[in-house]
């Protein structure tokens, strides 16, 4: 079933993405992880969309830095992870694993994805095949372990990788080229990775984004998703940290 929601990727800061999601039937708009306000507000205004909600995946400034300015401009309600509520500027309500959030007629399930931070969450719109992953699952990569353990992050990635293959992964950064180069080093005999690296190089050379990707693509080409156990994952993450 085609998605009824309109999705817009908003580049900001150095390599971040915020996201706008609009329910045309209800006339409601959501902003996810507005690291700065102006690009998000400009993108919404260009479409005559009124932002009614902000959802944050985690507490880092490049994902929440625009919260208060967006709220001042729109009067929106801000939702963030319960475990990091004290670090979410302007927060009005919290969300935890298993909660269901609403955007107009659409519903999103909250998935706990600790690892990058202890309290990070993702938002999965099952009917529209969209998941906002913040800095947990990236295209062909994953976030650094600033607070969590390899076991936590691997479990988080496995939860996201278990979503339907057509699910679009809307992550928080344009890191795919570096991730693809690492993936090619980690799995030099993986033809799918070799092909995808070439695609990513062409996109970036043309100034095009590589996000979103799909769960099916990650199952074939993301070495962190494909790691057979926690020890293998931990070795990959340590290698990527110095790659």
124 is catalytic: no
From the candidates 22, 23, 33, 58, give the one annotated as an active-site residue: 58
58 is catalytic: yes
**Taking Cα atoms as reference points, which of 170, 179, 191 lies closest to residue 223?**
179
Cα–Cα distance between 124 and 34 in angstroms, integer?
18
Q: Is 173 a catalytic residue?
A: yes
Place of tokens 């939702």: 79
Query: Considering 22, 23, 33, 63, which one is annotated as catalytic?
Result: 63
Q: Of the residues 60, 127, 128, 229, which is catalytic?
A: 60
22 is catalytic: no
Residues 224/238, Cβ–Cβ less than 8 Å: no
Question: Which residue is catalytic, options 22, 116, 124, 128?
Answer: 116
Other C-beta atoms within 10 Å of 120: how many?
Answer: 31
Catalytic, 60? Answer yes
- Give the orientation angle of helix 37-46 with respect to helix 67-74, to 10 degrees: 40
- What residues are paired with 164 via a beta bridge? none
Of these residues, 62, 128, 189, 241, which one is catalytic?
Answer: 62
Tokens describing residue 73 = 């401009």
Residues classed as catalytic:
58, 60, 62-63, 116, 135, 173
């Amino acid at each position: 079933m085609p998605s009824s929601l309109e999705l817009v990727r908003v580049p900001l800061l150095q390599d971040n993405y915020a996201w706008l999601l609009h329910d045309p039937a209800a006339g409601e708009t959501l902003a996810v992880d507005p690291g700065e306000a102006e690009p998000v507000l400009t993108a919404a205004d260009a479409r005559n969309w009124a932002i009614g909600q902000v959802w944050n995946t985690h507490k880092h400034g490049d994902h929440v830095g625009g919260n208060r300015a967006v709220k001042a401009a729109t009067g929106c309600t801000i939702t963030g992870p319960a475990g990091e509520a004290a670090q979410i500027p302007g927060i009005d309500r919290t969300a935890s694993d298993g909660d269901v959030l609403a955007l107009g007629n659409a519903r999103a399930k909250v998935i706990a994805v600790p690892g990058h931070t202890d309290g990070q969450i993702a938002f999965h719109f099952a009917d529209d095949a969209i998941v906002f992953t913040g800095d947990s699952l990236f295209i062909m990569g994953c976030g650094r372990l600033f607070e969590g353990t390899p076991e936590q992050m691997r479990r988080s990635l496995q939860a996201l990788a278990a979503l339907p293959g057509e699910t679009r992964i809307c992550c928080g950064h344009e890191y795919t080229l570096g991730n693809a180069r690492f993936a090619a080093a980690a799995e030099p005999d993986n033809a799918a990775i070799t092909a995808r690296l070439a695609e990513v190089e062409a996109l970036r050379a043309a100034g095009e984004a590589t996000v979103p990707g799909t769960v099916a693509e990650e199952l074939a080409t993301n070495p962190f998703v494909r790691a057979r156990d926690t020890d293998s994952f931990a070795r990959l993450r340590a290698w990527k940290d110095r790659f």
